[in-house]
Structure 1
């Protein structure tokens, strides 16, 4: 997915431009630090003090040039209007957050307000139109049947969370002034791999990633991906 994000950034902004990035629900800061190493100024927001502590530890190990481009803020994605002025960012990331929000429209509207004109809103969500795929391929027919008409599911952490439909998010993005520009499928072929699965050898890994990348931008494969990566652009 990082390559998809890089592609969208390269397509929206002049080469070499140092972007102002807001990473909402940044977790351990992996994406934030990757973008800071590329020269961008990144603000990470998370409401979990433990996650912030992990991110701070990782940041402390970075060179001074990277550290000075990163700021971490403890807070919720619903509070961006408290911490930042409208139009303060060129890119806003909201990856793996919406599944924990029962009514995401207000959150998304607030994030769109943080974008400067032409800014990029990047979302990573669970694909509600493919909720039956994982249990179906695992032979759990009861769960698969129940997933067809539901937005709810239990994730691998055992938490009851929700998924989003592409059509609904497309309408929401249009309504908040950041219409959908591009979208991709993520984890088309690899969703069945367990957390403890061995990482393939380098050659096989590169082939696997190439197959996933191709499927993630090709119909009908991307429509049954476990996750969707949507990119909206502020008008």
Structure 2
């Protein structure tokens, strides 16, 4: 994770129609992962780690479901905002804020201590994604744990630049190993579905299906879904139905994969 402000930040908060739509697919997959992991563990209260969790856009809702959440983030300001948000939502006792990054993750959070780990918006920024993912995998309980991994997708960037008339930048992103469209690109790297699942497997985990996130949401004017409830509902359904289809994953702004600790780990 970068040493500056959290890469996820407040923009990832589950608030507002358009913002909730963008996060909806991930949130539903995450809710299902929590339910499945609780059933497998035989207990309702899980220990969850949110790496790069920033101000708690996911950590606080997860704590609201009754789980204990540890947030590791390099930004003191983000962690202060997290504690304030947790207090406002009445889950302060279930949320722990820890300053750190993927390099010292196991030291500050603990190895093999978590039922579920969230790694959202992190691999794009770290110097060595494979090493970072190994650390993240090491935080999962060896007897059974689940990883929720969310990264930026190459295809979504190519499509966005092309639709903006930035055809040269679209071609650069398409051919660049890191999926970057130029020197002004704010993201150090992006991933394809194949590259993402390969990283997960190299970290010793079993990857599940990839889901495309923000396939259409970023292309639809916010004013449309903010003022037309029916349009929001239909677009939400469209996002959910397209999320698991490879053709649409290829042009998604973000990619999500759920992975499990193998039985022999």
TM over 0.5: yes
Offset, 1:75:
1.1
Taking structure 1 as reference, are residues 38 and 127 closer, same or farther at Cα in structure 2, changes over 3 Å only?
same
Structure 1 residue 180 corresponds to structure 2 residue 216: no
C-alpha displacement at 1:206, in angstroms? 1.7
Q: Offset of 1:7 from its aligned partner?
A: 2.0
**TM-score, scaled relative to structure 2:** 0.80
Residues 1:109 and 2:134 aligned together:
yes
TM-score, normalised by the number of residues in structure 1: 0.90
Q: Deviations over 1:25-50 (max 9, x none)?
A: 01210100000000000001111122
Pairwise CA distance, 1:219: 3.1
Q: Cα distance, 1:60 vs. partner?
A: 1.9
Write the distance in 2 (CA, Å) between the matches of 1:138 and 1:196: 19
Aligned equivalent of 1:73: 98
2-structure distance, mates of 1:158, 1:220 = 25
Asked if 1:24 corresponds to 2:56, the answer is no
Deviation at 1:16, TM superposition (A): 6.0
Equivalenced residues, count: 232
The structure with more helix, counted as a fraction of residues: 2
For 2:197 and 2:246, locate their aligned partners in 1 and report how far apart those are by CA, in whole Å: 17
CA-atom RMSD in angstroms: 2.2
Residue 151 of structure 2 is matched in structure 1 by 125
In terms of fraction of residues, the more strand-rich structure is 1
Counterparts in 2 of 1:84 and 1:54: CA distance versus 1, 3 Å = closer
Cα distance between partner residues in 1 of 2:95 and 2:181: 34
Give the structure 2 partner of residue 234 of structure 1: 261
Q: Does the 8 Å contact 1:28/1:54 carry over to 2?
A: yes
2:157 is equivalent to residue 146 of structure 1: no
Change in Cα spacing, 1:17 to 1:184, as seen in structure 2 (3 Å) is: same
Q: Is the 8 A contact 2:179 2:191 kept in 1?
A: no
- Choose the corresponding residue for 2:89, options 44, 47, 62: 62
* Structure 2 contact 38–45 (Cα < 8 Å) conserved: no
**How far did residue 191 of structure 1 move?**
2.2
Q: Give the conservation status (yes or no) of the 8 Å contact 2:154–2:251.
A: no
| Inter-CA distance 39–216: structure 2 relative to 1 (3 Å threshold) | same
Q: 1:195–1:152: structure 2 CA closer, same or farther, 3 Å change rule?
A: farther
For structure 2, list consecutive stretches of 5 or more residues without a partner in the other structure. Answer: 1-25
Q: 1:102, 1:162 within 8 Å by CA — same for their partners in 2?
A: no
| 2:205 partner SS | coil
Task: Note if contact 2:98-2:109 (Cα within 8 Å) is conserved in structure 1.
Answer: no
Structure 2 residue matching 1:224: 3-state secondary structure: coil
